[in-house]
Amino acid sequence: MGIVDTSRALGAFNEKCKRKAPFQSPYIVQRETICQPAQHPFDGLQEEEIQYLLLTYGLFKPDAWRRAGKLVKKWKEEGLYEKLEKEYQYLKKVWNGPEVPVYLYPFQEGGSFLRESKENKGGVAFKEGLYLFYGAPVKEEDWKAVLAHEYNHVCRLTEKNVDMERVTLLETLVIEGLGEYAVKEVYGKDYISPWTNQYTDKQLSKLWIDKFMGNLSNRERESQMDFLYGNKKRGLPRWAGYQIGYKIIESYHKAHPDQNLPRMMKREADDLVKGSSFPLAESE
């Protein structure tokens, strides 16, 4: 497993788009060339479901096939697939992580259905594998941050034997916090996302008490997205959940310096939060 050479399927998609009939939708071409069940690690998902899932999390829109083709050509010239493989093997060794397939695809310009993004990068992790969506980099080699963040998720999901779609909001916050804290630990502050420092501690504390504490047992994934990405109607600011997750891990580590990242990755979410600067209700 490891890094999957997606350039072949992406190249086939690009060539078919060049030759397609005027009435043929590039969405169908994308589905037929890069979303086949045999190409992905999901049991029971059909090509339409795979395409929808990947588009939701950041896969490039099929209409942008020309841009996607240029990106893939650049990746091949720069040896990005080989660089990813080397870094993946390093992280797997450091964290004693599982062997999973890693897929690289062009990033959805303007952001995915879930979120807007100016970073030209994103990803999604499952126990079965992880997906990196990458565009024109803001920083040289910032693909490392995406890989580390998402692979850390895989390690956590495997360690706790849980699926991302079924965990509580509490566990989701910890998973996201560990993922970004891993980026800081491995590559330094220059590679962490801007959302790690978007709100003051006072603002986060109020949000935690007013909005988050009463919803920590929530397992509805769609609702959890509001807490992570923001929802004005619910009084949830953009990226607040991500920053809270990061601050949970950061404050826990500050209070427990003997607990390194691999140790924190094994701890229960309740323990991490209780040992952080974010209080839990008596019933939690």
> What is the mean predicted confidence (pLDDT) over 16-42?
93
CB count in 10 Å sphere of residue 202: 8
Distance CA 212, CA 52 (A): 29
Could you tell me which of 167, 155, 90 has the C-alpha nearest to residue 127? 155
Q: What is residue 99's predicted lDDT score, i.e. its pLDDT?
A: 97
Backbone angles phi, psi at 277, to 5 degrees: -90, 10
Percent of the chain beyond pLDDT 70? 94
Q: Under a CB-based contact definition with an 8 Å cutoff, are residues 132 and 44 in contact?
A: no
Count other Cβ atoms within 10 Å, centred on residue 74: 11
What does the alpha-carbon distance between residue 121 and residue 128 come to, in Å, rounded to a whole number? Answer: 21
Q: Count of H helices and E strands in the chain? A: 12, 4
Question: How many whole angstroms separate alpha carbon 241 and alpha carbon 169?
Answer: 9
H or E stretch at 2: strand 2-3
Domain ranges of the chain: 2-160, 169-274
- pTM of the predicted protein model: 0.93
| Look-up of token digits 């309740």 | 270
d(CA 98, CA 154): 8
Q: How confident is the model at residue 165 (pLDDT cuts 50, 70, 90)?
A: confident
Q: Given phi > 0 = left and psi -120 to 50 = alpha, else beta, which region is 228?
A: alpha
Average pLDDT for 130-145: 84
Residue 32 reports pLDDT greater than 90: yes
Question: Is the pLDDT confidence value at 231 over 80?
Answer: yes
Q: pLDDT band for 141, please (50, 70, 90 cuts).
A: confident
- When pLDDT is cut at 50, 70 and 90, the band that residue 138 belongs to is low
pLDDT of 144 higher than 70: yes
Q: Give pLDDT tens digits for 255-265.
A: 999 999 999 99
Residue 111 confidence (pLDDT)? 53
Give the Cα separation of 52 and 69 in Å (integer).
Answer: 21
User: Which residue carries 């050509």 as its tokens?
Assistant: 73
Q: What is the rounded CA–CA span in Å between residue 227 and residue 185?
A: 25
Predicted confidence at residue 113, as pLDDT, reads 46
pLDDT in tens, 76-115: 999 999 999 999 999 999 999 999 999 999 999 865 444 5
Residue 43 is given by DSSP the state S
3-state secondary structure of 126: strand
Work out whether strand 121-126 and strand 101-106 pair parallel, antiparallel, or are unpaired: unpaired
pLDDT tens digits, 180-201 = 999 999 999 999 999 999 999 9
Whether residue 117 is predicted with pLDDT greater than 60 in this model: the reply is no
Q: How high is the pLDDT of residue 282?
A: 56
Q: What integer best gives the mean pLDDT of the chain?
A: 93
C-alpha span between 24 and 27 (Å, rounded): 9
Is the pLDDT confidence value at 220 over 60? yes
Place of tokens 């959302």: 195
User: Can you tell me the mean pLDDT for 121-140?
Assistant: 87
Report pLDDT for 119.
Answer: 64
Dihedral of the alpha carbons of 88, 99, 179, 110, in degrees to the nearest 10: 70
